[in-house]
Amino acid sequence: MNAIAKPAPTALDALNDWVASVAQLTQPDRIHWCDGSDAENAGLIAQMQADGTLVKLNEQTHPDSWLHRSHPDDVARVEHLTFVCTPERDDAGPNNHWMSPTDGHAQMDALFDGCMRGRTMYVVPYCMGPIDSPLSRCGIEITDSPYVVANMRIMTRMGAAALARIEREGTFVKGLHSIGELDPGRRYIMHFPEELTIKSYGSGYGGNALLGKKCHALRIASHQARSEGWLAEHMLILGVENPQGETHYIAAAFPSACGKTNLAMLIPPEGYREKGWKIWTIGDDICWMRPGADGRLYAINPEAGFFGVAPGTSKKSNPNALASIQSHTIFTNVGVTADNQPWWEGIGNDQQPVTDWRGEAYDPAKRPAAHPNSRFTVSAKRCPSYSPMAEDPHGVPISAIVFGGRRASLVPLVFEARDWTHGVLVGAAMGSETTAAATGAVGVMRRDPMAMKPFCGYNFADYFSHWLSFDKPGAKLPKVFHVNWFRKGEDGKFLWPGFGDNLRVLEWMIKRADGAVGAVETPIGNLPAETDLELDGVELSSEARAKLFGFDAEGWKAEFASIGDYLDEYGPRMPAALKEEQQRISGALAG
């Protein structure tokens, strides 16, 4: 007699089993399945206001907005405590801290043991990307932090619709998070790419705790992207609409706190606005790209909100960002004025802080009012330049990919890669001076390939090979550029005005993509002639013109020798095509 086959377990069976096993390990008092509703959010906000987790801000100036103060030792990403757990160390690569999956689970489960006693365990279903997009991917975060739930509701498509998609698809990324004791000595973030699993303990700070963000959308997604034939990148996405009504989309990778949000929300200079130029914001931090049927790369922003750096955000630097955060915003680690408005250094208003980010009386001799890495969390739809194309399930076609970082010397304002292989080398060799977004010294130049050094979930050598693999017959790949808004003169001041004037550089890129403008060929790539950039109204000194539009052959010889040494650090897995390209350019510079 034939046995009746047992029905295949559904995704919800697997999810329920996982939730039960986590509850058995962590021992919460209660379990709450999040539906993402307004009523649920209002209840969480009221609970956090009652226990002091959130402080209500001025309802007249900043309606429905809140301040959160994190633990003073929990204010930034902790790259030295972030691990990628693969069976083979080489698969994680020298760009990641490695631990075996067995040891990683054992270490984390010992920390999670009983950690939610007296707390509520929240089960948070979420979708990274438009809920109906084939490019999107779903996950579940289990957390004991209502602050995380409130932020995930803003930053992802969270709730019932995401759970329904998980049930249909049968797969999801598993994320387990607990704030633990907020003890830096008991703080780790472990990624298990082959299991699509994240475990984070001991931090309540954004990227360490909002597991949909860097953990899922970059470290785990980069692994998914490699196996499925797409790219998960630390990039903004913006649309540039010209006076003819044509919109080109650009993806750009900069390290954290190097101006991604400012560029994504750029406001054109007055002359450009009068001619009809417009900027459309798709996303300011993460970009997932997949080849379309026509050979072009199509991109979505997997996030639904902005988790932006507050200090320096002003009407001058980023009026669209400032307009976005006037209501329905969660501020983290900013100062507060006497009438309970949020305040940070560089905000550019007449208010004065009375309380700093630790909740103590403001004393500029003691510490800044806002932590240098203080943040705002707000829905992308609140941005005046928000593009409805951000919800297009097919994504937007990318005309140009831009790399850049903070380089005070050597690197010109903009140059174009010769071809795709050269472009991959430009991204792989990217260097930038460190900022306050990560723990450690500020202002130190380090290589940060594609701005993915803290975020790539596998060996960089394999990652570069994956990038190279997109150059195949039928592909219509974007042109690749490198920019440097941060070049300084002898007096230590920036040579390029930046902000809205960066559109002048984007216009040249778009014309290059359309074959409508020339360039000056050099060994490092194609530079614009000064006459090919629209510079009306921009005052540049002779020093600025020489450094922004020229190149120092001797300096670049040393740079390419350093790039060669950097590529060698990855050993035999480094693709030969990149090393050959480095050697080709080194030879051209020597000649």
Active site residues: 258
| Residue 374 is assigned to a ligand binding site | yes
Q: Are 582 and 524 in contact (CB under 8 A)?
A: no
Among 85, 131, 202, 144, smallest CA distance to 392 is for 131
Report the C-alpha gap between 118 and 136 in whole angstroms. Answer: 35
Whole-angstrom CA distances from 288 to 130, 158, 218, 481 are: 12, 19, 9, 19
Assigned token pair, 128: 């990274």
| Residue 205 is assigned to a ligand binding site | yes
| Residue 499 is assigned to a ligand binding site | yes
Looking at 360-463, which runs of residues are DSSP E strands? 375-379, 396-404, 414-416, 431-433, 445-447
| Residue 260 is assigned to a ligand binding site | yes
| Residue 257 is assigned to a ligand binding site | yes
Residue whose structure tokens are 């190097």: 258
| Residue 285 is assigned to a ligand binding site | yes
Whole-angstrom CA distances from 470 to 8, 292, 302, 322, 481 are: 36, 12, 21, 38, 17
| Residue 367 is assigned to a ligand binding site | no
| Residue 501 is assigned to a ligand binding site | yes
| Residue 103 is assigned to a ligand binding site | no
| Residue 579 is assigned to a ligand binding site | no
- Burial bucket for residue 237 (CB in 10 Å: 0-12, 13-18, 19+): buried
Cα 399 from chain centroid? 20
Number of C-beta neighbours around residue 551 at 10 A: 18
Residue type, 405: G
What's the DSSP call for residue 438?
B
| Residue 21 is assigned to a ligand binding site | no
Among 389, 404, 395, 433, smallest CA distance to 252 is for 404
Report the C-alpha gap between 182 and 470 in whole angstroms. Answer: 43
| Residue 404 is assigned to a ligand binding site | no
Report the C-alpha gap between 234 and 74 in whole angstroms. Answer: 23
Report the C-alpha gap between 490 and 409 in whole angstroms. Answer: 10
| Residue 206 is assigned to a ligand binding site | yes
Q: Are 534 and 425 in contact (CB under 8 A)?
A: no
| Residue 550 is assigned to a ligand binding site | no
Assigned token pair, 338: 């006497």
What is the residue-wise DSSP string for 242-256?
A: -TTS-EEEEEEE--T
| Residue 147 is assigned to a ligand binding site | no
| Residue 214 is assigned to a ligand binding site | yes
What's the DSSP call for residue 293?
T
| Residue 273 is assigned to a ligand binding site | no
| Residue 463 is assigned to a ligand binding site | no
| Residue 335 is assigned to a ligand binding site | no
Whole-angstrom CA distances from 421 to 364, 465, 557, 584 are: 49, 10, 19, 12
How many degrees, rounded to 5, is the angle at CA 551 between CA 547 and CA 557? 130
Pick out the residues of the known binding site: 77, 205-207, 214, 234, 256-262, 285, 373-375, 406, 499-502
Pick out the residues of the known binding site for GTP: 257-262, 375, 406, 499-502
Pick out the residues of the known binding site for substrate: 77, 205-207, 256, 373-375
Pick out the residues of the known binding site for Mn(2+): 214, 234, 285
